[in-house]
Structure 1
Amino acid sequence: MVKSLGIHSIRSSPVDSLRNGNWVKLICGASFEDVVDIRNLSLVYTLAGVDCIDCAADESVVNAVNQGIEAAREIVEVGRPWVMISVNDDEDLHFRKAEFDPADCPQDCSRPCEIVCPANAISLEKEKSSAGRLWNTSDEGKDQGGVLTERCYGCGRCIPVCPYDKIRVHTYVRDAAATSELLRREDIDALEIHTSGR
């Protein structure tokens, strides 16, 4: 399959893949921080022979990536992909999260934000008492939940579909001191910088 289809071998190194023009990178997302999913994605893509796994510059995320890689390498003899962290120096679409207050959502909303979210990062449910009855006297209850920040990777699909314009975007810049500490680790091989060109 390697020769006939041009698919690189799972035993080739990332450097060899770069030289041969068939380098493949898994983009977990600069804002995606669901460590369980990231570990599982890293395991599967390592088994598939990916050359690099790009992830958020967060210690727990980097740990999850490396756990997935090591789990894959215990299953089958496979090369170790590079671990790349993504950082930014200014506002960037890859470094944002959706947010809204579920208590502000009208009771009659059809919740299109939940439907369009590809990461299942929006969860709304009715607030109930421990006895199973609603806290308030109406039959509707109040919405609770909202955006699960560790799952949100800032795609923005929820923003235009909100019929009440309740969803906002929170952008952030990765902390330079925390990033420099991460770069001292021996299990991080590459850095991707999203820059505004300053």
Structure 2
Amino acid sequence: MLHLALNCKDLVDIRNLSLVYTLAGVDCIDCAAEASVVNAVNEGIEAARALVPIRRPWVMISVNDDEDLHFRKAAFDPDDCPRDCMRPCEKVCPANAILQKGGVLADRCYGCGRCLPVCPYDKIRAITYVRDVITTAELLERDDVDAIEIHTSGRLAFQT
């Protein structure tokens, strides 16, 4: 199973990786429960299948109901950072999600956590987010999502 831990800004990369992994014969591609990401995954799969008659891998979306490392983003208030800070967080961020004056760009951050231990002032925290149940349900109604992976704490948080 391939888990695409990329964000919406990386849709071309998601499409291309899905194409390559489909050609490699993966059974399942696990991606974020966001329509644009699911669309990019399916575009990659169909592009691969247009090249070679190959079995279509499952498309699986991941959701959560509580804290989980797969569903977090970094956050901090840049005004709290000392002016003389060397900003090691910016240097270690693979997504270029940390700006000197803007803090963390949530749409770029994919929660790798590399910035958390390097902050010399312990100003960065991890924020857990939970996927919206209605948006997730709409994705599940589509014909291009085959499975769902639920990261759960055991509590029933998906209530409407």
TM range (shorter): 0.7 to 0.9
How far apart, in 2, do the equivalents of 1:27 and 1:178 lie? 20
How far apart, in 1, do the equivalents of 2:40 and 2:66 lie? 26
CA RMSD, aligned part only? 1.9
Q: Which of 1 and 2 has greater Rg?
A: 1
1:103 positional shift: 4.4
Q: 1:76 and 2:56 equivalent?
A: no
1:145 positional shift: 4.1
Q: Which amino acid aligns with 1:120?
A: A
Q: 1:172 and 2:147 equivalent?
A: no
How far apart, in 1, do the equivalents of 2:125 and 2:72 lie? 10
How far apart, in 1, do the equivalents of 2:16 and 2:105 lie? 19
1:1-40 pair list within 5 angstroms: 25-29=1-5, 32-33=7-8, 34-40=10-16
1:123 positional shift: 4.0
Whether the 8 Å contact between 2:95 and 2:110 is mirrored in structure 1 is no
SS in 2 for 1:84: strand
Q: In the TM superposition, what whole-angstrom CA distance separates every residue of 1:86-113 from its partner, at most 9, and x where no partner exists?
A: 0111221211111223444334322221
In the alignment, what sits opposite 1:59? 35
In the alignment, what sits opposite 2:158? none
Distance 1:191 1:114, change over 3 A: same
Q: TM-score, normalised by structure 1?
A: 0.70
How far apart, in 1, do the equivalents of 2:152 and 2:138 lie? 20
How far apart, in 2, do the equivalents of 1:192 and 1:121 lie? 28
Q: Which amino acid aligns with 1:147?
A: V
Distance 1:104 1:37, change over 3 A: farther
Q: 1:184 and 2:141 equivalent?
A: yes
Q: Which amino acid aligns with 2:136?
A: T
Q: TM-score, normalised by structure 2?
A: 0.84
Aligned length: 154
The percentage of aligned residue pairs carrying the same residue is 73
How far apart, in 2, do the equivalents of 1:177 and 1:120 lie? 28
Whether the 8 Å contact between 1:113 and 1:122 is mirrored in structure 2 is no
List runs of 5+ in structure 1 lacking aligned partners: 1-24, 125-142
In the alignment, what sits opposite 1:108? 84
SS in 2 for 1:54: strand
How far apart, in 2, do the equivalents of 1:174 and 1:87 lie? 6
SS in 2 for 1:87: strand
How far apart, in 1, do the equivalents of 2:97 and 2:108 lie? 9
Whether the 8 Å contact between 1:97 and 1:154 is mirrored in structure 2 is yes
List runs of 5+ in structure 2 lacking aligned partners: 156-160
Q: 1:87 and 2:44 equivalent?
A: no
